[in-house]
Amino acid sequence: MGRFVNPGNSAFKVALASEIYIDKTGLLDFTNSVLGTKQAYICNSRPRRFGKSITADMLTAYYSKGCDSRELFMNYNIAQTEDFEKYLNLYNIAQTEYFEKYLNKYDVIHLDMQWILMDAGAPERISGYINKNVISELADLYKDIDLRDQKTLYGALSVINSMTNNKFVIIIDEWDVLIRDEAANSSVQEEYINFMRGMFKGSEPTKYIELAFLTGILPIKKLKTQSALNNFDEYTMLYAGRLSPYIGFTEDEVRDICDRYGRDFSQVERWYDGYMLGDYHVYNPRAVVNYMLQGDLKSYWSETGSYDVIVPLINLDFDGLKTAIIQMLSGGEIKVNTGSFMNDTVSFKNKDDVLTYLVHLGYLGFDQKKSCAFIPNEEIRQDIENACRHKL
């Protein structure tokens, strides 16, 4: 068990031990169904405090050879309600046997890019830090394979696969830290994007990757008009597809929590509902949990992310932007063309790019059917009003 290769399940144990834990292990049904396929490259972006790290920790705890997680998952949906009845009946196996088919069976590489950025000491050191440290752990794990000449992680993985046929599960949490925090540093971004392309693009990575799962706030950065990693399926706050019920808390889940804690669901709905993902109304998990435990209906959003991010965007003063925000503050919806946004924090060209960015940040909800943005709830309304009070 290493820091990056085959980590244990202690991080996910912390989530399970918390007073409020909502079972999202059904996501593993989906990831199990795409293992080793073209659909095994997944990027799931969502706002802060919407459970990105818990998802990454859950995937690690389930797949990693570095731990035994059978007892950890046995009482949750993945071990009881997999949507694979045809598969199970065809091969005459029990659900628990299917659940265990993939449990702790893979070499997992888990990278928390926010933590790595701090430990590396500087943005330009990140790729080198990852290559050096992860290859070192792989060398300890695969002692019979000479990795001394390997300078890149993807090169080492290719060598290991050629010698053993082993495939890896690669989980990168907060993949977009450099895209957001080093937006003006083109050389750092270029090096990082090239590292990511080496890891995941082309035919060689398909030989050593069984599953790649990236979490972040932003979708994958575009180069010109195309994603830099266009072999990934992206699930975002614009379109979450099959991942919709696993992003935030669903209405049914929030009703159950309200019953458990004796809270007024209608008040929770007014304050924290509003994100529309397919057929699901999705709630901010952190806000719901804090209200249940503390009993105060207020904006918990500003405690985790400064609304000052809004002010520079408004001050870009694109034609119609201020009017659009005023209209949404009054309860209106605004038509948005999301296609031109480059999935970074510097390439804003028009009002639609800014509004699309605010959707990804969680400051706006998005109705996919109508292609309209809106302010999702009272919590966000108060934050945007505070940010705009002296700016509009």
pTM above 0.85, yes or no: yes
pLDDT tens for each residue of 312-323: 888 887 888 989
C-alpha distances (whole Å) from 219 to each of 194, 234, 257, 341 are: 17, 7, 31, 10
**SS3 state of residue 16:** helix
Please report the pLDDT score of residue 97 as a whole number. 53
- Number of DSSP helices (H) and strands (E) in the chain, helices first: 19, 13
Which structure tokens are listed for 315?
């001050």
DSSP state letters, 290-345: HHHHH---S--GGGTS-GGGHHHHHHT--TTHHHHHHHHHTT--EE--GGG--SSS
Residues of the chain with pLDDT under 50: 82-88, 90-95
Which structure tokens are listed for 181?
């925090």
The shares of helix, strand and coil residues in the chain, as percent rounded to the nearest 5, are: 50, 15, 35
**SS3 state of residue 352:** helix
The single-letter DSSP state of residue 78 is: G
Amino acid at position 120, single letter: A
Amino acid at position 111, single letter: L
First-to-last C-alpha distance (Å) of the chain: 54
**SS3 state of residue 145:** coil
65 in Cβ contact with 108 (< 8 Å)? yes
Please report the pLDDT score of residue 94 as a whole number. 47
The single-letter DSSP state of residue 218 is: S
